[in-house]
C-alpha cells in the first residue's frame, strides 16, 4: 500500500484540470402553481373502462348542473398519470400536492356539449372547466 501511495505522489505529470467547481445557483421551485392545461396538453393515457360507480358520479354531477344525464355518451375514458394533485385542472391560487397522481380522464357528451371529468384514486369526479378569461385593462 505504501508503494502505491508513493507511486501516485511521484507522478511528474500534472493532473488534468477537472471541471470547474462552482457554487450552485438558486433552483427553480417545485411548488409553483401551474396554469390550467388545455385539453390537448393533458398527458395521454391508456384506454380504460369506465366503472359503474364513476359513471353514476358523473351523472350525479351533471344533475347538479341542470343537465339531464340520461343521454350521457362516453366519448373517451383513459387511465392517466397526472403531474400533480390538480389532475391537470389547476385553479388559480390553489396549491396542490407536487407528486404524480394515477387517475382517469373521462370525456362525455350530453346534448351536443362535452364535459371533461378527472378522477384521482377515488370515485369523486372533478369537472375540468376552461379557465375564465382574465380581465384586461380594456374590460375593467
pLDDT of 26 reads 47
99: closest CA among 77, 124, 120, 118?
120
Give the helix/strand (H/E) hosting 74.
strand 73-82
Q: What percent of the chain has pLDDT above 90?
A: 56
Taking the complete model, does pTM exceed 0.95, yes or no? no
How confident is the model at residue 43, as a pLDDT?
58
Cα–Cα distance list, 44 to 21, 48, 49, 103, 104 (Å): 40, 12, 15, 12, 10
Residue 32 pLDDT class (50, 70, 90 cuts): very low
Cα torsion angle, 49, 53, 59, 65, sign: negative
pLDDT value at 82 more than 60: yes
Q: How confident is the model at residue 60 (pLDDT cuts 50, 70, 90)?
A: very high
Task: Render pLDDT for 87-102 as a digit per residue (tens, 0 to 9).
Answer: 999 999 999 999 999 9
pLDDT at 69: 84
Position 133 confidence tier, pLDDT thresholds 50, 70, 90: low
Nearest alpha-carbon partner for 115 in 68, 52, 81, 82: 68
Q: What is the mean pLDDT of the chain?
A: 77
Amino acid at each position: 500500500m505504501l508503494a502505491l501511495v508513493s507511486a501516485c505522489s511521484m507522478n511528474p505529470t500534472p493532473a488534468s484540470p477537472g471541471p470547474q467547481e462552482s457554487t450552485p445557483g438558486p433552483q427553480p421551485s417545485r411548488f409553483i402553481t401551474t396554469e390550467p392545461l388545455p385539453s390537448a396538453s393533458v398527458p395521454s393515457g391508456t384506454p380504460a373502462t369506465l366503472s359503474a360507480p364513476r359513471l353514476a358520479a358523473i351523472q350525479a354531477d351533471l344533475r347538479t348542473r341542470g343537465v339531464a344525464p340520461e343521454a350521457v355518451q362516453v366519448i373517451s375514458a383513459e387511465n392517466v398519470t397526472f403531474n400533480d394533485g390538480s389532475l391537470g385542472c389547476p385553479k388559480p391560487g390553489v396549491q396542490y400536492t407536487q407528486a404524480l397522481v394515477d387517475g382517469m380522464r373521462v370525456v362525455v357528451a350530453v346534448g351536443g356539449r362535452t364535459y371533461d371529468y378527472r378522477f384521482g384514486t377515488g370515485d369523486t369526479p372533478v369537472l375540468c372547466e376552461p379557465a375564465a378569461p382574465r380581465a384586461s385593462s380594456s374590460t375593467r
